[in-house]
């Protein structure tokens, strides 16, 4: 009897179970929001990336529904063939206006934006330097490009400089890639120092603003604005699926960069254009980001309130360093994190355990929304106190 070539899959799943790394989906019913229905029970939602509470906003829903009525459900083709609509261009111009860049190009997801941009810009003779905690899409974009990939310790500019001194001269082009808000930690990359190094060593810099857009900076443009780096030459990536409450991704930067990506990024050229509904919802969201700064003010008030309560009432649960609405506390094991996540859910709080291989150490990740009420935050802290 020949060996079953698929037998290893079951064994591999068993290993995942043994390590407490097994994952499965949880079903949410109804619309997204500060509270959601999870397994039939109403829970306070600290698990969402919908930082401004726009994914369930009537204006986004109306924009999506009208776009479907006018343009249909599917884009029917890639942007360069039959998929392009004026709506896509309007969204790209709105992103460029928010980011204060010359142009932008919209992808079907943030993941595809990272894969496509990095693969288009870099090749076999090039060097990519990547923060060790970068998102999977940056890491896989680097692998896809075929460039030599070196990781630097998290946010460690001194080591990055040493690596540049040692390796930069052996390669043609060089690209530094980093999340701006680290998605599973909540801290920020040292953007001004990275830009200075990029200048010094003639490197490009690509920064992933997925968790920063709509959240960081006075106008919600992201960490580039937060650090006063607007207008500097760099490549900004982001998603439409977090604070912008829709689906899709983008690259923003110089007109030449965007023109080049439209000709070379495989995950833009060979995939169907973003659906009319997603495009219209994101466009409506950017207008809200630009005209309703009070949402951001409320978000940061909520973050401050939660931090203050945690520091005073839960000193045994120190937060990982954070400067964003993502707040995490570490736990000794994956089993422990799973257990706390389960207890929280039973007490009406949805804040998931994040485990390896997503992160090196297990933790509970809390993400704060502008639409959380003070009572939601107080309840989270009182439940954590009991557990």
Residues of this chain that bind ligand PMP (CB under 6 A): 109-111, 114, 135, 137, 179, 183, 208, 210-211, 239, 241, 249
For residues 260 and 69, is the Cβ–Cβ distance under 8 A? no
Min dist. Cβ of residue 247 to ligand PMP (A) = 7
Which is nearer to ligand PMP, 210 or 252 (by Cβ)?
A: 210
Which is nearer to ligand PMP, 101 or 241 (by Cβ)?
A: 241
H or E segment at 31? Answer: none
If DSSP codes are grouped into helix, strand and coil, which group holds residue 80?
helix
Rounded CA gap, 85 and 87, in Å? 5
Beta bridge partners of 251: 105, 237
Crossing angle of helices 255-264 and 110-121, in 10° steps, is: 90
Rounded CA gap, 68 and 358, in Å? 36
Q: Where are the alpha helices (DSSP H) in the chain?
A: 7-18, 58-71, 86-99, 110-121, 136-145, 157-167, 191-200, 223-226, 255-264, 266-269, 276-291, 293-313, 334-346, 374-386
Min dist. Cβ of residue 385 to ligand PMP (A) = 29
Q: How is residue 87 written in tokens? A: 């709506």
Q: Rounded to an integer, what is the distance from CA 89 to the centroid of its chain?
A: 23
Beta bridge partners of 178: 207
Min dist. Cβ of residue 1 to ligand PMP (A) = 43
Integer-rounded Cα Rg, in Å, for the chain is 21
Which is nearer to ligand PMP, 109 or 322 (by Cβ)?
A: 109
Min dist. Cβ of residue 316 to ligand PMP (A) = 29
Evaluated on CA atoms 257, 265, 246, 35, the torsion sign reads: negative
Rounded CA gap, 383 and 265, in Å? 47
Min dist. Cβ of residue 184 to ligand PMP (A) = 8
Which is nearer to ligand PMP, 112 or 337 (by Cβ)?
A: 112
Which is nearer to ligand PMP, 240 or 377 (by Cβ)?
A: 240
Min dist. Cβ of residue 109 to ligand PMP (A) = 3
For residues 44 and 379, is the Cβ–Cβ distance under 8 A? yes
Tokens 């709506």 correspond to what residue?
A: 87
Rounded CA gap, 107 and 272, in Å? 9
Which is nearer to ligand PMP, 111 or 268 (by Cβ)?
A: 111
Q: How is residue 142 written in tokens? A: 């680097």
Which is nearer to ligand PMP, 48 or 309 (by Cβ)?
A: 48
Which is nearer to ligand PMP, 110 or 325 (by Cβ)?
A: 110
For residues 176 and 204, is the Cβ–Cβ distance under 8 A? yes
Which is nearer to ligand PMP, 206 or 370 (by Cβ)?
A: 206
Provide DSSP, 210-269: TTTTTTSSTTS--HHHHTT-TTSS-EEEEESSSTT-S--EEEEE-HHHHHHHHHH-HHHH
Q: How is residue 120 written in tokens? A: 């288009």
Which is nearer to ligand PMP, 126 or 208 (by Cβ)?
A: 208
């Amino acid at each position: 009897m020949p060996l079953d070539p698929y037998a290893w899959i079951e064994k591999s799943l068993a290993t995942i179970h043994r390590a407490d790394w097994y994952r499965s989906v949880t079903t949410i019913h109804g619309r997204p929001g500060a509270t959601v229905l999870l397994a039939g029970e109403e829970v306070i939602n600290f698990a969402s990336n919908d930082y401004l509470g726009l994914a369930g906003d009537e204006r986004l829903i109306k924009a999506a529904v009208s776009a479907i009525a006018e343009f249909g459900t599917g884009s029917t083709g890639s942007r360069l063939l039959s998929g392009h609509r004026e709506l896509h261009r309007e969204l790209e111009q709105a992103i460029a206006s928010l980011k204060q860049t010359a142009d932008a190009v919209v992808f079907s997801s943030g993941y595809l934006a990272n894969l496509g941009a990095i693969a288009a810009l870099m090749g076999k003779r090039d060097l990519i330097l990547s923060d060790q905690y970068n998102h999977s899409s940056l890491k896989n974009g680097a692998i896809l490009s075929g460039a030599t990939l070196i990781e630097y310790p998290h946010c460690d500019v001194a080591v990055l400089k040493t690596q540049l001194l040692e390796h930069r001269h052996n390669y043609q082009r060089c690209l530094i890639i980093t999340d701006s808000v680290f998605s599973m930690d909540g801290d920020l990359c040292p953007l001004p120092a990275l830009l200075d190094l990029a200048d010094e060593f003639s490197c490009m810099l690509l920064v992933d603003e997925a968790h920063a857009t709509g959240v960081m900076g006075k106008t919600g443009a992201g960490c580039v604005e937060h650090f006063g780096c607007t207008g500097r030459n760099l490549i900004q990536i982001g998603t439409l699926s977090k604070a912008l409450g829709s689906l899709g991704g983008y690259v923003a930067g110089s007109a030449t960069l965007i023109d080049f990506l439209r000709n070379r990024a495989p995950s833009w050229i060979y995939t169907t254009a973003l659906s009319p509904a997603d495009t219209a919802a994101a466009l409506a969201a950017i207008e809200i980001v630009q005209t309703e700064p009070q949402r951001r003010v409320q978000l940061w008030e909520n973050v401050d309130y939660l931090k203050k309560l945690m520091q005073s009432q839960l000193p045994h649960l120190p937060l990982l360093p954070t400067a964003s609405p993502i707040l995490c506390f570490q736990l000794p094991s994956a089993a422990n994190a799973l257990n706390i996540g389960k207890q929280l859910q039973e007490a009406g709080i949805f804040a998931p355990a994040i485990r390896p291989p997503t992160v090196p150490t297990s933790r509970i990740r809390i993400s704060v929304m502008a639409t959380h009420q003070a009572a939601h935050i107080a309840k989270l802290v009182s439940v954590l106190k009991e557990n």
